[in-house]
Amino acid sequence: MSQFFQEGPQLANQYDDDRVLQSFLRRKLPSDVFTEIEPGLRRLGERAVTDILALGDAAEAAPPRHVPYDPWGRRIDRIDVSRAWQELERISAEEGIVASAYERRHGAYSRIHQFARLYLFGASSAVYTCPLAMTDGAARILELHGDLWLRSNPLPRLTSRDPKVFWTSGQWMTERTGGSDVSGTSTIARPDNGLYRLHGTKWFTSATTSPMAMTLARIEDSSEAGRDLSLFYVETKDSSGRLQNITIQRLKDKLGTRAVPTAELTLDGTPARLIGGAGRGVRKIAALLNITRAYNACCAVGFMRRGIALARDYARKRRAFGKRLCDHPLHAETLANLQIEFEAAFHLTFRVAELMGREELGEATEQERAILRLLIPLAKLYTARQAVAHASEVLESFGGAGYVEDTGLPRLLRDAQVLSIWEGTTNVLSLDSLRAIDKEAALGPFLDDLRSRIEVVKAADLLPQVQRIREAGRRIEICYQHGLKEGVDYLQAGARAFAFSLARTYTAALLLEHAAWSLANGGDTRPKMTAQRWCARELAPLIEPNASYRRLSSDLATDG
């Protein structure tokens, strides 16, 4: 009988092991900021493979439980979460995963610092990043639209490092009548003594154990603003710990994110506070969505990095056909492609963080604000799709072990799958990219920025890539101008291909810029190889969905 047992993959310190993160931070941050934050990142990189990882695994193994009744039949609607989930809340407060963005200790660089922390924390946290994303988004809303009470009461809780003070926030948007189309919201808000009472059902509420939430409802009055959706602040429990006229119907049975409590709620007179006056609720909650979408991208990158770290370690250990997996040329090719996808996603996402920091500090130019508005949906939609494909390939690189639950690997795929769904599906975000281009005139600044990034690249062996990016930029511009003439159906039918083209081409410019910097600063040639290989792919896979093309698509879609 064989005595052979395969050794499983091991994770090293996730900061020390990450060349891409380190070189990006060295390039972007002033040296005193880098020197100050590096020890904290290294410590978090260690925790990400020790206590945080163990808590994430424990939280995953003990998912939340809905307890509708007490032993004597009274409705109590408690959601029990594991000790590990509670510990993850404590750690995220102490580690300042949200707070570090709002303390603004490093000015506009604070978002880069915070995203580096989020990225290290995320992949080990059993998606505790979900409540943190909504918490960060809620904090931003309160900064932008909160009255004095909201800014003095919940806001300091959301941005606290003290676990006893720290609150997470939920985000209750989705109703039975609409997930993507939030205009279908049927919850109403009845005025009550200067506050409101909410009546309605919320079909998906994530991190439902949070003490507060942001939600949308229509004020029951006849004014024009009241007919529009308004944004509300809700505290879920009263001072004695009882739910405030909220019934928890059930927890969702989800493919992944199993440690995250996601519930269906009925609100029947839940007290709520209006945020920023009546109406324009979607516009106001968009500030939250833009943050959660950026988190989504950061978590996608974190998952990709985790996948490649595991697959790489395994490939160094596992032997097949007489040699290690990593010594097989085809396996090496697969791992190299995984690394390239990860690096591309990393640079796209951290460019978002860089611009977010500048915008929040009031340092962004008008052009940078427009670029950010467009870049957030692009980064969210593109990295989410990458993360799903990436996780699938990572699982395959383990053979059968990748399909077996107790290796922990299937979780990577299950958790990645939600990234392209929540906070706006790929299609909704492709259309949002068009909205950004239309309403914020974002395409011009975006393409100008792309060109200015590649102009600085002078290394002779990167010049062919500069040329390819220029050409892709020109094609994108022509395609959009043509689309404007053809009309809205043309633009919408091509929106996903268009968004992918923007994301891939902009990413190419970021990779090239980083490659040029790396060559000039220490001479690391790996970013150059990544940039060259990324640019060798189709950068702008645009389509031309004219009327006959769309008719055919419609036939294929409806009749098969």
Q: At closest approach, how far in Å is the CB of 39 from ligand MFK?
A: 26
Q: Number of H helices and number of E strands within the chain? A: 21, 11
| Residue placing its CB nearer to ligand MFK in the complex, 157 or 293 | 293
End-to-end C-alpha distance for the chain, whole angstroms: 53
271: β partners: 197
Toward ligand MFK, which CB reaches closer, 312 or 380?
A: 380
Return all residues near 106 (Cβ < 8 A) that are at least 6 apart.
Answer: 29, 33, 36, 37, 113
Cα-Cα-Cα-Cα dihedral sign, residues 131, 136, 137, 138: positive
- Closest contact distance (angstroms) between CB of 62 and ligand MFK is 21
Would you say how long the chain is, in residues? 560
Q: Is 112 in the site for ligand MFK (CB under 6 A)?
A: no
Q: Using DSSP bridges, classify how beta strands 262-274 and 212-219 pair: parallel, antiparallel or unpaired.
A: unpaired
Q: Does 176 participate in binding ligand MFK (rule CB under 6 A)?
A: no
Nearer to ligand MFK, 183 or 553 (CB): 183
Stretch that binds ligand MFK, among 71-79, 169-177, 347-355, 382-390 (CB under 6 A): 169-177
Contact flag: residue 292 with ligand MFK (CB under 6 A) = yes
CB of residue 366 to ligand MFK, shortest distance in Å: 15
**Contact flag: residue 134 with ligand MFK (CB under 6 A):** yes
Considering only 341, 343, 415, 423, the residue that binds ligand MFK (CB under 6 A) is 423
The sign of the torsion formed by the CA atoms of 185, 191, 195, 200 equals negative
State the minimum distance, in angstroms, from the CB of residue 292 to ligand MFK.
Answer: 4
- Where in 268-287 is the site for ligand MFK (CB under 6 A)? 280, 282-283, 286
Q: Which is nearer to ligand MFK, 138 or 457 (CB)?
A: 138
Distance in angstroms (rounded) separating the CA atoms of residues 272 and 274 = 7
- The verdict on 353 binding ligand MFK (CB under 6 A) reads no
Question: Please, are residues 347 and 507 in contact by the beta-carbon 8 Å criterion?
Answer: yes
Cβ pair 307, 390 in contact under 8 A: yes
Q: Which is nearer to ligand MFK, 176 or 439 (CB)?
A: 439
Three-class SS of residue 414?
helix
Q: Spell out the residues 6+ positions from residue 540 whose beta carbon is closer than 8 angstroms to its own.
A: 472, 475, 476, 479, 501, 504, 505
* 432 touches ligand MFK (CB under 6 A): yes
CB of 147 to ligand MFK, least distance (A): 21
**Shortest gap between Cβ of 348 and ligand MFK (angstroms)?**
16
Asked if residues 98 and 91 have their Cβ atoms less than 8 Å apart, the reply is no
Q: Which residue is nearest to ligand MFK (CB)?
A: 286
- Contact between 171 and ligand MFK (CB under 6 A)? yes
| Site map 374..413 versus ligand MFK, x via CB under 6 A | ----------------------------------------
Per CB under 6 A, the segment of 130-138, 214-222, 457-465, 481-489 that binds ligand MFK is 130-138
54: amino acid identity, one letter: A
Our measurement of the distance from residue 493's CA atom to the centroid of its chain's CA atoms, rounded to an integer in Å, reads 25
CB of 460 to ligand MFK, least distance (A): 41
Size of the site for ligand MFK (CB under 6 A): 29
Three-state SS at 525: coil
Q: How far is the CB of 331 from ligand MFK (least distance, A)?
A: 30
CA distance linking residue 454 with residue 180, whole number of Å: 36
Is the Cβ of residue 126 or residue 338 nearer to ligand MFK in the bound state?
A: 126
Alpha-carbon distance of 356 to 112, in angstroms, equals: 9
Shortest Å distance, C-beta 462 to ligand MFK:
34
Q: Does 133 bind ligand MFK (CB under 6 A)?
A: yes
Q: Three-state DSSP class for 324?
A: strand
Buried b (16+ CB within 10 A) or exposed e, 224-248: eebebbbbbbbbbeeeeeebbebbb
196 to 215, contacts with ligand MFK by CB under 6 A? 204, 206
Look at strands 212-219 and 188-192 and give their pairing: parallel
Q: What is the DSSP letter of 309?
A: H
Candidate list 35, 180, 186, 553; residue touching ligand MFK; CB under 6 A: 180
Of 389 and 428, nearer to ligand MFK (C-beta) is 428
Report how far residue 236's alpha carbon sits from residue 259's, in angstroms, rounded to the nearest whole number: 20
Considering only residues 357, 402, 424, 445, which one is a binding residue for ligand MFK as defined by CB under 6 A? 424
Which one of residues 54, 62, 182, 497 is an interface residue with ligand MFK (CB under 6 A)? 182
The H or E element spanning position 292 is helix 281-317
Site residues (vs ligand MFK, CB under 6 A)? 129-130, 133-134, 171, 173-174, 180, 182-183, 204, 206, 280, 282-283, 286, 289-290, 292, 295-296, 299, 422-424, 428, 432, 435, 439
